[in-house]
Amino acid sequence: MGKELVIQKSWCKKCGICVEFCPKNILDLDEEGVYVKSKEECILCGLCELRCPDYAIYLEK
Amino acid sequence: MGKELVIQKSWCKKCGICVEFCPKNILDLDEEGVYVKSKEECILCGLCELRCPDYAIYLEK
Amino acid sequence: MKTEIRLSGSGGQGLILAGVILAEGAILSNLNAVQSQSYGPEARGGASKAEVILSDKSINFPKIMDSDILISLTQKSFDEYSKHIKENSIVIVDSSIDVHGINAKVCKAPIIKTAEEVLKKPMTANIITLGVLSSVIQDVDKEHLKKAISKRVPKGTEELNMEAFEQGTKLIAAM
Amino acid sequence: MKTEIRLSGSGGQGLILAGVILAEGAILSNLNAVQSQSYGPEARGGASKAEVILSDKSINFPKIMDSDILISLTQKSFDEYSKHIKENSIVIVDSSIDVHGINAKVCKAPIIKTAEEVLKKPMTANIITLGVLSSVIQDVDKEHLKKAISKRVPKGTEELNMEAFEQGTKLIAAM
Amino acid sequence: MMAVKVKLLQGNEACVHGAIHAGMKFFAGYPITPSTEIAEISSLMLPKVKGTFIQMEDEIASISATIGASIAGQKSMTATSGPGFSLKQEAIGYACITETPCVIVNVQRHGPSTGLPTSPAQGDLMQAKWGTHGDHSIIALSPTTVPETYSMTVRAFNLAEKYRTPVILLLDEVIGHMREKVEFNELENLEIIDRKRANCNAEEFKAFEVTEDLIPPMEKIGEGYKFHVTGLVHDETGFPTNSTEEARKLLSRQTKKIEDNLDDILMNEEYMTEDCEILIVTFGCMVRSSKDSIDELRAKGIKIGLLAIKTVWPFPSEAVKKLSEQVEYIFVPEMNMGQMILEVERVVKNNCKVVGINKFNGEIITPQEIVSEVEGVLSFAK
Amino acid sequence: MMAVKVKLLQGNEACVHGAIHAGMKFFAGYPITPSTEIAEISSLMLPKVKGTFIQMEDEIASISATIGASIAGQKSMTATSGPGFSLKQEAIGYACITETPCVIVNVQRHGPSTGLPTSPAQGDLMQAKWGTHGDHSIIALSPTTVPETYSMTVRAFNLAEKYRTPVILLLDEVIGHMREKVEFNELENLEIIDRKRANCNAEEFKAFEVTEDLIPPMEKIGEGYKFHVTGLVHDETGFPTNSTEEARKLLSRQTKKIEDNLDDILMNEEYMTEDCEILIVTFGCMVRSSKDSIDELRAKGIKIGLLAIKTVWPFPSEAVKKLSEQVEYIFVPEMNMGQMILEVERVVKNNCKVVGINKFNGEIITPQEIVSEVEGVLSFAK
Amino acid sequence: MPSKVIENNFRVNRLPHIWCPGCGHGILMRSLAVAIEEANLDKDKICIVSGIGCSSRSSGYFDYNTVHTTHGRALAFATGIKLANPDLHVIVISGDGDATAIGGNHLIHSCRRNIDITTIVFNNNIYGMTGGQYSPTTPTNDKATTSPYGNIDKPFDICDLSAGAGATFVARASAYHAKQMIDYTKKALLHKGFSVVEGISACPTYYGRKNKKGSAVDLIKLIKDNTQMSNDIVKSKLDGKTAIGIFKDEIQPEYTEEYKKVMDKF
Amino acid sequence: MPSKVIENNFRVNRLPHIWCPGCGHGILMRSLAVAIEEANLDKDKICIVSGIGCSSRSSGYFDYNTVHTTHGRALAFATGIKLANPDLHVIVISGDGDATAIGGNHLIHSCRRNIDITTIVFNNNIYGMTGGQYSPTTPTNDKATTSPYGNIDKPFDICDLSAGAGATFVARASAYHAKQMIDYTKKALLHKGFSVVEGISACPTYYGRKNKKGSAVDLIKLIKDNTQMSNDIVKSKLDGKTAIGIFKDEIQPEYTEEYKKVMDKF
Ligand SMILES: Cc1ncc(C[n+]2csc(CCOP(=O)(O)OP(=O)(O)O)c2C)c(N)n1
Ligand SMILES: Cc1ncc(C[n+]2csc(CCOP(=O)(O)OP(=O)(O)O)c2C)c(N)n1
Ligand code: SF4
Ligand code: SF4
Ligand code: SF4
Ligand code: SF4
Ligand code: SF4
Ligand code: SF4
Ligand SMILES: [Mg+2]
Ligand SMILES: [Mg+2]
């Protein structure tokens, strides 16, 4: 589909929800917020986008 | 049971409910209110008392 | 010229409507008119009273203290309101009423009996009353009153009420 | 003698509680104290600020314009409130904060680091701060402060917080 | 000669006729004596003009729906009496801060609480100004005749639209329930004012713009101007802000837009004031008793006049003050324990003596009572 | 020497402590900033004294339950802030006409409407008197310190019980949320007053008897004195009547029972008034700013004093009038657009000049602002 | 001389009541008195609370402790009364408007809390006191002074609503079914928890007249015709009838008892 | 740069929103935006109405016509808006307190009227905005700042209540069940009549903390554990679970259409 995972770190409030519910377990938090541990493993399922309360992580073409 | 039909005519507002629902059909209205056409026929069922909105007709010992 | 008229009776007799029609007839006749009523503490039954003030000048205070014309259809209302009449005023009562010791021109008319026996509709008493009144209040054109009646009574009862009005006008003549 | 102390930082840091404890310690030490805070427009997160006024006289106006002592645990709060300090006042900040061009006696203390690394509980930063403060405010008896701490912190965390307080007192000595 | 169109109308009826003349397209209410006829007649008339009537579950819902309808672009009204007016207070403040035009009718009855629910009173005058929490301006009008109820309802809508503000129409049971002649020819020509619309495109639109006249233009929902409305302090854009400066600006502007236009908003009637040495100041149905009493007192040679206050809020301080310099006494007859008199006293200071004539038993004060009260005071003063 | 028991309490906390001291056994409320702590602390403390706390579905239910509990015989209280206070207005009138003792706390915040919900203001002063429809008297108290919040809450209950009337406790966000030292020794000895009970048997009992002191004794439900309570106009028996004379008597008595006891009810504090030529009149948290400003102005040689009004309703007209004869200026600092100043102006007439110092942006007026305002006016006058 | 039950339970000197001739409220009011007699409640401990409306005027006639409050809020007042003195038998009398229009929220929350109060709703499908406006129980298409072209609202079923909101005893009888009214009311009074008894009433003056449904007698007959004895609300509706019966009767934790447990912790 | 759906539906310059980290409201708010996109509504014709509460702050973020009203009254305002302009898609966003405590009456009456408004309730079982007091949906025994000894109230089931009061579309999803939330909300938006979608939310700051239920993540997991997909509310309760599903979906006369018929008589 040509989608890609995008992170807008400045909006991340570090709640950890996306980290917990990523089926591939490839997300994690650092001081500033969320980051992808291994982008290649991402299956573009969109669950992180679906549940991020702050719209800081999403898939976009 | 020694009960008796009592009418307190001054309280009667002449709505006709007791008249309508007396199973023996022995009640009627005049200018001043309800009266018994034939007391002897009264079976003391108390339905008039039960449904008189103004407590003007009742059975009492 | 200012005439203060009080119509009194019991709840269901439609005297407020009569007052309204009278006031409407009056304004059609180019008079000023103010009509008011007092509601009971609650809407239920009991006494009823309408007040109408007619004048060729403007009317300020809208209530009546003592009436020029008192109409009473019940004994209770007569007893109450006959205390508040002007000297030399007119009092119109139903024939059933016991009038005693008042200083007024009293007209007794069989209003309720006419409603019940002639028109066979007790609820026409208010319009019969208007008929009676129309003979007393000359400034209000009878035709205007009739116009007001047909406008204000329930649809379908216009004819009955015209008849009631006519009967009323005859009652006072008959006295 | 009147000392106006402003404690500033971010929402979850517990500085309002620190202010309350400071005020309570002060009244146990026979001073007068007024503590207040400004709530954000809504209860959610964001900046946090507590104000404490200590005095041996009665205190009327309960808010602080310019502080005698400013505590800031975040850069943002420092930038905001360092604008409102008296001349020759004391400013206590977490070591992480970049302090520039202010005319005050500045104490930098590794408050947050101590909380995270020594006590392993970030939420003890507020009590560590109190420890730091206790060395600056002589009129408030340390024992009274401790009493206030053990009364006000959540049950079961008394010991941890005593330790935090002690660590705080040491920080300033270490400077 | 043009045919004179006359009708015998009740005050409450005239109010609805006036409202429909003014363009009312929405009414939400909850019945309460003595205002109920306003709802009833609205339910009858509104569908005929493609307007909407709804009976809501209570008074709070009624005023909320009324404000909502106005935000959606319709001229709207609600009506109630004392207890319901108390319940509407929170939402009145919302209408003030959101500058939503609407008309709130209170047909006053006796109180406090349920009191004498079918009897007249004028006990909600102060409430009309102070009933809701926080600082705000309000316009309140009070008619004295049935025809005036018609024209004043039109005026209430006009002021609401012109100044983007709720307007309270303070009737009383006497005016609401009496029937009187209404001549329509002039009334039907009464001017109608509609709210000012934006003269810019949607992108530039600011829902609470500070314009020169201090009255922000108002757009309709559904026409592309997507805006936000809130009861929080907000800036020109309409979005909430915590800025104390914006708070000050907002409240100042909302007060100032009324105060700068007192010339347009205030309305009084003077009766025999030219040479008067004694003045009656009053409002609502008491104007009627007062006029009769003045005729009687004048006939006795007493130089008395009347200032009938039609816009009761803002209070016409200047008019009262000016007349107070000319007279020795001001009498303030009110069917309450003394409310308007507080404003009069404040305004006239030591200029003249101020005497209240009060009745709070559910009865109207009669001309005779005013006459004897005035005569009593004057004879005592001699 | 007795050990001094001191505590650091928040104003809202002190209010609950005071209420419990006074005998509060029932609290019904609905949360709203900045009054919420009063509910929260009540929920914590009441079960410990066999009292009841309930969070109701809204503010109307809360005050209704509060009045109900008092009719049932318990001392009761509710607390809210602006929007909730608006909603409670109808029921406040019911408490007035039924003469039901209870305490209604309004911790004022910025308004109108939602305004700046966490910021302080004093914009509900007039509403406390005029918020409900119809004529009625009300007692409203406003403390300036945390310890005083404690004692004044006790006083609120005492006045409510003594005069059979709702009492409004008008806090503000500043006092409600600040923490201050409270010394308990004296406070714990504060007198407690309970409602007067009947001294006759059930047959003779009249629930609204006109006694010499105009305050009817009050019985509890469930103890044999079966009585009727209604918000309708009622006679001595408590049953509704349409008699205009009874209506007059009822409302007069309910007003008079307050007005006859102003000596007992009113409470002010004077500060440096003895020789003052300039006076500050104010209430609530503004007293604190004013005192500091006075100290500063006195230091500059300006003879200024303070009348701190603690019983804000009924308004202490006599005290203000008396001082107005001595001074040249009265300044009225208020965190609103000018409410108490209206009463001051009314009362002082031309005795002196009256100047408002107002802030309505959600911020407290500082001593410095008062100082410069006073200095500004004085220098201009020179 | 009135009957014993009237004399024992009413303030006879205030009778006859203010209601219109044939008003169903009088029948329901008597039913409550009889139920109280039969339930053998201590009359000193009874507190009747009502709102505003024709129905709500009933409080003044009962010779117990009686509180006539504000429109719609009777249940909120009653909640305060009951909590302040849980020994009282608190009974609320309300109208369809009082209970389900302005008072709807207090009704559902009282149901939810399951506080031991019995509520009797005199449902005449109209606002009687204010002269015949439609209420939340006025049937669709019926006329009222504020629905001159026919009511477009869908009515509440008071029993449905109460049961759904959590009341633990719910029943309906009528002015025609006075025996059942007495019986259900008695059961409601003896029930521990929040109980609702809807009594279908009749307002000849406004509802009857506006809808051309004839006299008081006709209205009572209409109730008879439009109802059926059944404990199944939904099924009855399918028959085009209103069910008369007990629809819910279950025991759940009662509010004042639960609160007592909190107090007993100290 | 935010995602397309955010950019197309929100006032991006007002984001990030004021809610706490991990607050479930953010998830539900996005779900609504996606549902609106998918339902293909004309955005100029959308009007979002909210009351007061954390949840109710959402109105300000949507780039439609938005009205932030008073506490509990959003549905009453919305009723006025919808009737004044029936062409609008009126959507109410409310909290559990806003909708079922102070606003309970407006909720049941809106249900009863079946007016074409979609109501989304962000139910976090607590009053978030005022700092954690119990609400009408707080489970029994839970702690809140006003139930320090455990809540003794019995909670409402918002879906039960709405269906009982007459809503014609009723569904429940959650911040965990965001997909279903989108799906049900979309169906609700397209439904003609009054629709209610309850979204179970999570308030880590107050509800979570007070009840020692852990972090935001823990609360979302808890929702997962305590729910089951089912269209039977009652049966789910027997399993100790909250049902996620569509519980009612029927067509009945809609209020503004009925009113239009009245107008069309003239
Ligand atoms: C706050 C308030 N709003 C409105 C009213 C007017 N009012 C009195 S009773 C009533 C409705 C009565 O209807 P219902 O409860 O069904 O009782 P009924 O008279 O039919 O027995 C209304 C709207 C009021 N007294 N108070
Ligand atoms: C009339 C009124 N009463 C009370 C409040 C205070 N208040 C604001 S939001 C709120 C409750 C919010 O709870 P909920 O609706 O569940 O929303 P949440 O914050 O949990 O999302 C309360 C009680 C108010 N603003 N107005
Ligand atoms: S899209 Fe799916 S797999 Fe990729 S990061 Fe998000 S949740 Fe994980
Ligand atoms: S869910 Fe969103 S806010 Fe939370 S950690 Fe992930 S990106 Fe950050
Ligand atoms: S007791 Fe029965 S039979 Fe006798 S009069 Fe009454 S209803 Fe008729
Ligand atoms: S039912 Fe009662 S009031 Fe009606 S007619 Fe019979 S006795 Fe009279
Ligand atoms: S108006 Fe209707 S409800 Fe009221 S008393 Fe008359 S008949 Fe009964
Ligand atoms: S307080 Fe609770 S509901 Fe409110 S924003 Fe924070 S987490 Fe969300
Ligand atoms: Mg009814
Ligand atoms: Mg919530």
Q: CATH 3.40.50.970 region(s) of chain E? A: 6-187
Q: Do F337 and E230 touch (CB under 8 A)?
A: no
pLDDT recorded at residue D40? 61
Mean pLDDT to the nearest integer, G217-238: 96
Touching, D vs B (3+ Cβ pairs under 8 A): no
Distance, CA of F89 to CA of E83 (rounded, Å): 9
Q: Do G253 and H152 touch (CB under 8 A)?
A: yes
Shortest-distance Cα residue to atom 2 of ligand 8: H203
Atom of ligand 2 nearest to the CA of F83: 1
pLDDT recorded at residue D43? 46
pLDDT digits (tens, 9 = 90+) for F117-135: 999 999 999 999 999 999 9
Contact partners for chain E, using 3 or more CB pairs closer than 8 A, are C, D, F, G, H
Does residue A53 belong to the interface with chain H, where contact is any CB pair within 8 Å? yes
pLDDT digits (tens, 9 = 90+) for F275-332: 999 999 999 999 999 999 999 999 999 999 999 999 999 999 999 999 999 999 999 9
Sign of CA dihedral F231, F237, F243, F249: negative
Q: Which residues pair with C7 in a beta bridge?
A: C50, C71
Residue pairs between chains D and H whose CB atoms are closer than 8 Å: 20
CB contacts of D38 in chain F (<8 Å) are 118
| Contacts with F, G 201-260, CB within 8 Å | 259
Q: How far is CA H208 from CA C104, H128, H138, H143, in A?
A: 85, 11, 12, 10
Ligand 3 within 6 A of CB of A5: yes
Distance, CA of G94 to CA of G71 (rounded, Å): 9
Does residue H156 belong to the interface with chain F, where contact is any CB pair within 8 Å? no
CB contacts of E117 in chain C (<8 Å) are 41-42
Residue pairs between chains F and G whose CB atoms are closer than 8 Å: 134
Q: Do D60 and F291 touch (CB under 8 A)?
A: yes
Distance, CA of C95 to CA of C106 (rounded, Å): 11
| Residue H35: pLDDT over 70 | yes
Shortest-distance Cα residue to atom 5 of ligand 5: B42
Shortest-distance Cα residue to atom 2 of ligand 3: A45
Q: Determine which of C80-84, E70-74, F105-109, F328-332 has the lowest per-residue pLDDT on average.
A: C80-84
| Residue B12: pLDDT over 90 | yes
Q: How far is CA E107 from CA E12, E15, E120, E174, E175, in A?
A: 8, 11, 9, 9, 9
Distance, CA of F79 to CA of F92 (rounded, Å): 13
- How far does residue A18's CA lie from ligand 4's centre (Å)? 6
Shortest-distance Cα residue to atom 1 of ligand 6: B52
Mean pLDDT to the nearest integer, F2-21: 92
Distance, CA of H107 to CA of H73 (rounded, Å): 9
Q: What percent of chain F has pLDDT over 70?
A: 99
- How far does residue G159's CA lie from ligand 10's centre (Å)? 28
CA-based nearest residue to G57, from D42, F230, F195: F230
Which residues, 6+ apart, have CB-to-CB distance to F121 below 8 Å?
E134, E135, F108, F109, F110, F111, F115, F172, F173, F335, F336, F360, F362
Omega within 30 of 0 (cis) for the link into H16: yes
pLDDT digits (tens, 9 = 90+) for E330-369: 999 999 999 999 999 999 999 999 999 999 999 999 999 9
Fold of F6-187: Rossmann fold (3.40.50)
CB contacts of F174 in chain D (<8 Å) are 36, 62-63
* Range list of β-strands (E), F124-267: 139-141, 166-172, 179-183, 228-230
What single letter denotes the amino acid at residue G58? Answer: S
DSSP B19-45: HHH-TT--EEEETTEEEES-GGG----
CA-based nearest residue to F47, from F71, F24, F77, F72: F24
Closest CB to H101: pick one of F33, F58, F114. Answer: F58
Distance, CA of E11 to CA of E5 (rounded, Å): 17
Touching, F vs H (3+ Cβ pairs under 8 A): yes
ipTM of predicted complex? 0.97
Angle between helix E317-324 and E340-348 (nearest 10): 60
Ligand 7 within 6 A of CB of G227: no
Distance, CA of D47 to CA of D63 (rounded, Å): 17
Ligand 2 within 6 A of CB of H95: yes
Classify C37 as helix, strand or coil: strand
Classify F67 as helix, strand or coil: helix
G33: part of which helix (H) or strand (E)? helix G25-39
pLDDT recorded at residue D42? 46
Omega within 30 of 0 (cis) for the link into F240: no
pLDDT recorded at residue C42? 47
Protein residues with CB under 6 Å of any ligand 4 atom:
A 12-18, 33-34, 52-54, 56-57
Q: CATH 3.40.50.920 region(s) of chain F? A: 270-381
Chain CA centroid to CA B5, Å: 7
Q: Which residue of A has its CA nearest to H27?
A: A53
The single residue listed with the structure tokens 């009858």 is E44
G117: part of which helix (H) or strand (E)? strand G117-123
Contact partners for chain C, using 3 or more CB pairs closer than 8 A, are E, F, G
Q: Do C43 and G18 touch (CB under 8 A)?
A: no
Q: Which residue of E has its CA nearest to C24?
A: E8
Closest CB to D61: pick one of F177, F181, F366. Answer: F366
Distance, CA of E309 to CA of C11 (rounded, Å): 37
Per-residue pLDDT band at E1 (split at 50, 70, 90)? very low
- How far does residue G19's CA lie from ligand 9's centre (Å)? 12
F334: part of which helix (H) or strand (E)? strand F329-334
Query: How is domain F270-381 classified at the architecture level of CATH?
Result: 3-Layer(aba) Sandwich (3.40)
Quickly count: other Cβ atoms within 10 Å of residue B60's Cβ: 14
Distance, CA of B21 to CA of B50 (rounded, Å): 10
- How far does residue H108's CA lie from ligand 9's centre (Å)? 19
Assigned token pair, G224? 């008879």
3-state SS, chain H, equals CCCHHHHHHECHHHCCCCCCCCCCHHHHHHHHHHHHHHHCCCHHHEEEEECCCCHHHHHHHECCEEEECCCCCHHHHHHHHHHHCCCCEEEEEEEHHHHHCCCHHHHHHHHHHCCCEEEEEEECCCECCCCCECCCCCCCCCCECCECCCCCCCCCCHHHHHHHHCCCEEEEEECCCHHHHHHHHHHHHHCCCCEEEEEECCCHHHHHHHCCCCCHHHHHHHHHHHEEECCCHHHHHHCCCEEEEEEEECCCCCHHHHHHHHHCCC
Structural contact between residues E202 and H44, judged by C-beta atoms closer than 8 angstroms: no
Structural contact between residues F335 and F359, judged by C-beta atoms closer than 8 angstroms: yes
Q: What is the DSSP letter of C110?
A: -
Does residue D44 belong to the interface with chain H, where contact is any CB pair within 8 Å? yes
pLDDT digits (tens, 9 = 90+) for D8-33: 998 889 999 999 999 999 999 999 99
Quickly count: other Cβ atoms within 10 Å of residue F211's Cβ: 14
pLDDT recorded at residue E4? 74
pLDDT recorded at residue E273? 98
| Contacts with G, B 31-50, CB within 8 Å | 49-50
Q: Which residue of D has its CA nearest to H128?
A: D43
pLDDT digits (tens, 9 = 90+) for F139-175: 999 999 999 999 999 999 999 999 999 999 999 999 9
Gap from H89 CA to chain E (nearest CA, Å) = 9
Ligand 3 within 6 A of CB of A26: yes
pLDDT digits (tens, 9 = 90+) for F59-102: 999 999 999 999 999 999 999 999 999 999 999 999 999 999 99
Atom of ligand 6 nearest to the CA of B57: 7
Assigned token pair, E23? 């363009």
Atom of ligand 3 nearest to the CA of A27: 5
Q: Which residues pair with C9 in a beta bridge?
A: C48
Does residue F364 belong to the interface with chain D, where contact is any CB pair within 8 Å? yes
Ligand 5 within 6 A of CB of B22: yes
CB contacts of E55 in chain H (<8 Å) are none
Gap from F227 CA to chain C (nearest CA, Å) = 21
Classify B15 as helix, strand or coil: coil
- How far does residue H56's CA lie from ligand 10's centre (Å)? 10
Residue of E71, E76, E100 to mutate when probing chain H, most H C-beta within 10 A: E71
Shortest-distance Cα residue to atom 5 of ligand 1: E32
Angle at F379 between CA F377 and CA F382, to 5 degrees: 110
| Residue D174: pLDDT over 70 | no
* Range list of β-strands (E), D12-170: 32-37, 47-55, 67-72, 85-94, 104-109
Atom of ligand 5 nearest to the CA of B44: 1
Assigned token pair, H174? 């959650």
Touching, D vs F (3+ Cβ pairs under 8 A): yes
CA-based nearest residue to H203, from H31, H32, H15, H53: H53
pLDDT digits (tens, 9 = 90+) for H211-253: 999 999 999 999 999 999 999 999 999 999 999 999 999 999 9
- How far does residue B47's CA lie from ligand 5's centre (Å)? 6
Assigned token pair, F138? 């009300």
Distance, CA of F62 to CA of F88 (rounded, Å): 8
pLDDT digits (tens, 9 = 90+) for C154-174: 999 999 999 999 999 999 755
Structural contact between residues F118 and F33, judged by C-beta atoms closer than 8 angstroms: yes
Arithmetic mean of pLDDT over chain E: 97
